[in-house]
Structure formats: C-alpha cells, structure tokens
C-alpha cells in the first residue's frame, strides 16, 4: 500500500481502478477501502500529491490560478462572438483532491428541487440527504436536522471573519426584502442570505477530499490494499470486446520531463474500472478509449468501440462576474493585504499561525430570484422560460451573490486599495457547450465550446443584467460603500444615472432610490457582460445520467451504456444543474457512487 510517483512493478492487477484522483475519486477510493479491506484498489491521479502549504492554508487559494500553476489544469475554449470573441479558459483541479484542493472553499448545497430534477432512482433529495450528512461535520445550528455531525469534512467559519462586512451587507439586503437566515444550505431557503460557512476546519485548514478522506487511510495501516499513484496520466481504458478490463497510463511529462521515452504501462482490473477525471477530463478519457460519438471518434482517428453520442456533449458551467467596490476598510482588513505582502512574509505568517490564513475572504452568500414584476420586465420569452423552469419551484434561485473582502480576480488589475467585492453567478444556464478530443493522444488539444451566452433566446445574458443591478443595490446601501472601482464596472455615460460614482464623504442616504437604467445603459451593460463573463469552475454535465435515448451516458447506477464493468463518478454525470457552488455536490456524488459500488461488489463476491 502507499502513495507513489512510480507504481511498483508488482502492482500489475487489482480489483478496482479509479482513473482520476479528484474530489469524487478520493471519496470513492476511501469508502471502498473501508468497506472491503481485502479489496485491492488503485487510484491514478495525473497531478501531484496535494500536501503543500498553499493548499493546507485557505488564504493562498488564488496561487492556484497563476499561469504557471502545477495544481490546476487549464482548458482553452474556442473563441466565441457571444463573449466578445474571447477564448475563455476553464480551470479545473489538477492535483490529488482535484478542485476540492484548489477551489475557494465556499460551502454551498444544491437545492431540494435540484436533486429531484435529476429524476433518477436513488438520486432524489430525500435519497441524497443521508449522503450529504455523511460527508460532513457541521459546525453551526442545525434546527432542521439536515446536517451531519461526524463526517470527514469539517464545515465552519474558520479562524477569521470580518463581521463589519457581514453586518453591513445583511442590513443593506434587508432593505431589499432579503432577510438573514441561519442556514442557507438547508436545501430550501431562497431570497435570503447568511454568514457563509466554508470548507475550512475550526482550526483553519482546508477541508479537501484528499486530506480528509484519502491520506488518513494511506497512513493508518488498516488499508493495505489501497494504492495511490500520482503524477501519472491515464491514456485510455482497456477494453476486451465491450468490457473494461484495465487502463493504460504514462508518467505525466509536467512532473517527469526527463523521462523522454514516456513509456506507457498497463494495469488490469478484475472487477471494476471507474472514470473520475471530471467534467472536462472524463469525456476525453472515454473518447480516447473508443467510447463516444462516432463522428467525433472517426475525426480523431480513434476506432469506435461503442457509439455513444452523449459523451462530451451538454457541457454546462455557471457564468461568473466579479465587481469590486471602493470602501472604508483598512488595508489589512481584506485578503488582499495578506496576498500582497502587507502583513509580512508567507513564512512568517505560517510561523506565527496568523488567523487570517484560515479565511477565504467570503463573508456572505445570498441565493436570490426576481419578483413577478422583474420577471415581466425581462420580456415575454423570459417570462415563458420562467413559468416553465422556476414558477412552480419556489426554492430555485436565479443567481447567487457572494460578498468578499478581496479583489475578485487578477490582482494585476487591482488598484492596491482595500477591496470589497461581489462575485455573482447565474445558475441553471440555458446555454450548452461541448468538449471532445481531436486526436488519440493525451496531449492533443480539445475541441471545446463553453456555450456561454449562446442560448437561442439569449436568456442567460438577461439573467446577468438583472443580477448586476440587484447586487449593486445591496452594496451601495452598505455604510462602508464609497463607490465603484470604475475600471471594473460597465462604462455608462457620465451623464447617466447609472454611471459609476466615487463618494468623497460618508455613505449614501438611507433612503437612496434604486438606479434607473436607460435603453443606452442596457446596451452598455450587455456589451460589458459579454466582454467580462468568466467561469465559476463549476463544469458539469458532459456524461449525463439520463436514458440513452436522451443522449445519456450512464444509468442511475453510474454504469456506462454499452460497456460492462465501467462506471463514472464525478460531476460529468449531472443531468441538470444545481444552484450552488459545486464542491459539496461532487462530494455527495462520490458518497452516493461509493454506496452503489460497494453494494454491487458485495453481490458480485457472494
């Protein structure tokens, strides 16, 4: 057993192979190892081991977005006229633990309607609640009894909070009719906000799937048949006719540049192969293995084993915008003060156990939906879509607002002033994209279209126009508000009532009216949104759990159609989107998947 950068030669056949060591993969490997101590398991991860300070200490999460990062993968999409002819870049976890090791650690659960909308046996909200509870130890009030108290992932407020921001934001939002609630992750609450919980332990450590599930089992001496191989890329799944019997992998050249031969190696699986490479990686693995849409495989020069058109299609992500604001915070009140070195060196901060290291800067999260009048104002097409998708589901928000003490993006664009910011993303996008291979090799580029703002009715852009206006009304009612960082907001005309302001003295009056936007302002806003929209790292839905006739790839037991002994366990299986940051959903998918596999393996061994 152990964690390796080079797999021992003696490990040439195991019972179960997990291709991908991301969030769900780590959960599945750990739960299988617990359930069947004699079961031999090999997990293969393309990235490195995640035991490093920039992962352990939450405040350094932005380091994983650096262009030279070795902890994230960066998928380049095609240019699109819908986003101002830009080629968007989608980050995804590229280290053991996947996105749970590199994300912003926002704790946010899917709504009850989200799970129910999957319409898959065993995946309703009632079915999933035991797994949502199983994964967590929740540090907070749980009046509805929907949280766990003995799971591996600790959910808390961490070691540092800036109550001033939360207090002001909550007071401002209440003027718009959005109250504070104790628990916004109770599966039902909406049009409300809360003092955000995080995937951070009470002692200030990141709660990722590798650290909380996998590493304890590697070290405890009780799981001798659990093998974890890092820095190795799975090239393809080995198929005997239409049965998965193993994988072929190679050293990752990013970590082994001197291994010029890059000789591949195969390991056999006696019982099961599980693909867990994420929404961007799993479709490519299947396609390189000959499983996918016939035309895609033929263009890429891959022999077709199973013609499965749903693979790689239906890509979804939440559309994100960040808005920084001028304020009266002190230079060391925000996360920028730490990241930019105003609070001392990285080494000294760690040595002195600085409390801000256990903080992600997020203070408030809100899930919001428009009033009937606001829906009508968005036009008849939007009204029709609203009536179909939202009207009868009062727990479904249209967007999510996060209030953060720090600059919401590339710090090279920051002015150096203390930053109060909003990150806002819309949920349930109408637009869809795809991701496919272009050749048979791991290093070949992907054919990737995000589909952002490309939906036929152009409803996604209307959602963001509404969300921009709403979040702005909250922030400008905060007493510390002193205007917008104009360079990061739409360039409304100087004579427009919507133009950015810079207040020289004091906050706005308590009874300040809402901003009125002219037709010209609407044009400016739409253009700016297209020029600045980005990813929320919430990729999903590229191997959907749907009937095969509906372009599904897996059934409700996560079995790949047409292939025996092959499962998928990651967010690629999500048939419909969720109104949440997706890490919690990924963990829950891992727990549910493990439960399915454990039961099947027990039956097979009987």
Active site residues: 538
Q: At what angle do helices 125-134 and 583-605 cross, to 10 degrees?
A: 100
Distances (CA, A) of 518 to 85, 181, 525: 26, 34, 10
Distance CA 312, CA 302 (A): 15
The H helix count followed by the E strand count for the chain is 16, 24
Retrieve residue 67's tokens. 């262009």
Quick one: which of 403, 465, 470 has its CA closest to 170? 403
DSSP 3-state of 316: strand
Q: What backbone phi and psi angles, to 5 degrees, belong to 82? A: -70, -20
Distance CA 110, CA 129 (A): 11
Can you say how many angstroms the Cα of residue 103 is from the centroid of all Cα atoms in its chain? 7
Distance CA 359, CA 455 (A): 37
Question: Length of the chain, please?
Answer: 606
DSSP 369-384: ---HHHHHHT-HHHHH
Beta-strand runs (E) in 122-218? 136-138, 153-155, 192-195
Count CB neighbours of 522 within 10 A.
12
Distance CA 287, CA 74 (A): 19
Sequence-distant (6+) residues with CB within 8 A of 329 are 162, 164, 165, 405, 418, 420, 480
| Tokens 């022999």 -> residue | 303
């Amino acid at each position: 057993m152990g964690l390796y950068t080079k797999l021992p030669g003696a490990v040439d056949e195991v019972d179960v192979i997990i291709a991908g060591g991301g969030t769900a993969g780590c959960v599945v490997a750990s739960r299988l190892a617990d359930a069947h101590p004699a079961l031999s398991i090999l997990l293969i991860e393309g990235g490195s081991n995640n035991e490093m300070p920039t992962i352990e200490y939450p405040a350094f999460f932005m380091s994983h977005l650096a262009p030279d990062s070795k902890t994230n993968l960066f998928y380049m999409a095609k240019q699109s006229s819908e986003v101002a002819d830009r080629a968007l870049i989608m980050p995804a976890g590229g280290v053991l633990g996947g996105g749970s090791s590199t994300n912003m650690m926002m704790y946010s659960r899917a709504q009850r309607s989200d799970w129910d909308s999957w319409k898959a046996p065993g995946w309703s909200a009632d079915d999933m609640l035991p797994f949502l509870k199983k994964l967590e130890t929740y540090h907070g009030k749980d009046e509805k009894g929907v949280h766990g108290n003995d799971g591996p992932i600790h959910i808390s407020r961490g070691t540092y909070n800036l109550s001033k921001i939360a207090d002001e934001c909550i007071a401002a939002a209440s003027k718009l009719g959005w109250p504070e609630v104790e628990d916004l992750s109770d599966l039902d609450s909406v049009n409300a906000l809360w003092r955000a919980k995080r995937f951070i332990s009470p002692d200030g450590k990141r709660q990722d799937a590798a650290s909380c599930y996998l590493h304890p089992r590697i070290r405890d001496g009780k799981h001798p048949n659990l093998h974890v191989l890092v820095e190795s890329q799975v090239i393809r799944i080995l198929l005997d006719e239409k049965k998965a019997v193993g994988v072929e992998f190679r050293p990752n050249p990013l970590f082994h540049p001197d291994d010029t031969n890059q000789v591949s190696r195969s390991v056999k699986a006696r019982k099961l192969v599980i693909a867990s490479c994420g929404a961007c990686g799993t479709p490519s693995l299947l396609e390189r293995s000959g499983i996918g849409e016939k035309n895609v495989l033929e263009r890429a020069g891959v022999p077709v084993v199973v013609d499965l058109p749903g693979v790689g299609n239906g890509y979804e992500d939440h559309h994100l915008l960040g808005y920084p604001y001028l304020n009266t915070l002190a230079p060391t009140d925000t996360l920028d003060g730490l990241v930019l070195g105003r609070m001392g060196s990285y080494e000294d901060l760690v040595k002195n156990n600085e409390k801000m290291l256990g903080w992600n800067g997020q203070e408030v999260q809100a899930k919001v939906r428009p009033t009937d009048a606001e829906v009508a104002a968005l036009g008849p097409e939007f009204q029709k879509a609203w009536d179909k998708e939202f009207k009868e589901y009062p727990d479904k928000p249209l967007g999510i607002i996060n209030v953060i003490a720090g600059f919401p993006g590339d710090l090279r664009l920051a002015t150096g002033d203390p930053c109060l910011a909003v990150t806002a993303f819309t949920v349930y996008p109408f637009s869809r994209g795809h991701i496919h291979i272009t050749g048979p090799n791991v290093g070949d580029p992907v054919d990737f279209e995000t589909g952002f703002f490309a939906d036929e009715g152009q409803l996604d852009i209307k959602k963001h126009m509404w969300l921009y206006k709403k979040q702005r009304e909250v922030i400008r009612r905060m007493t510390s508000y002193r205007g917008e960082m104009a360079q990061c907001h739409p360039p409304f005309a100087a004579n427009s009532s919507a133009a950015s302001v810079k207040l020289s003295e004091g906050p706005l009056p308590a009874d300040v009216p809402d901003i009125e936007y002219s037709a010209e302002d609407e044009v400016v806003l739409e253009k700016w949104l297209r020029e600045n929209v980005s990813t929320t790292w919430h990729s999903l839905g590229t191997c959907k759990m749907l009937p095969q006739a509906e372009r599904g790839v897996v059934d409700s037991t996560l079995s790949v159609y047409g292939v025996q002994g092959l499962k998928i366990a990651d967010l690629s299986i999500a048939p419909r989107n969720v109104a949440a940051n997706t890490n919690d959903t990924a963990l829950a998918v891992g727990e549910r998947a493990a439960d399915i596999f454990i039961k099947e393996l027990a039956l097979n061994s009987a």
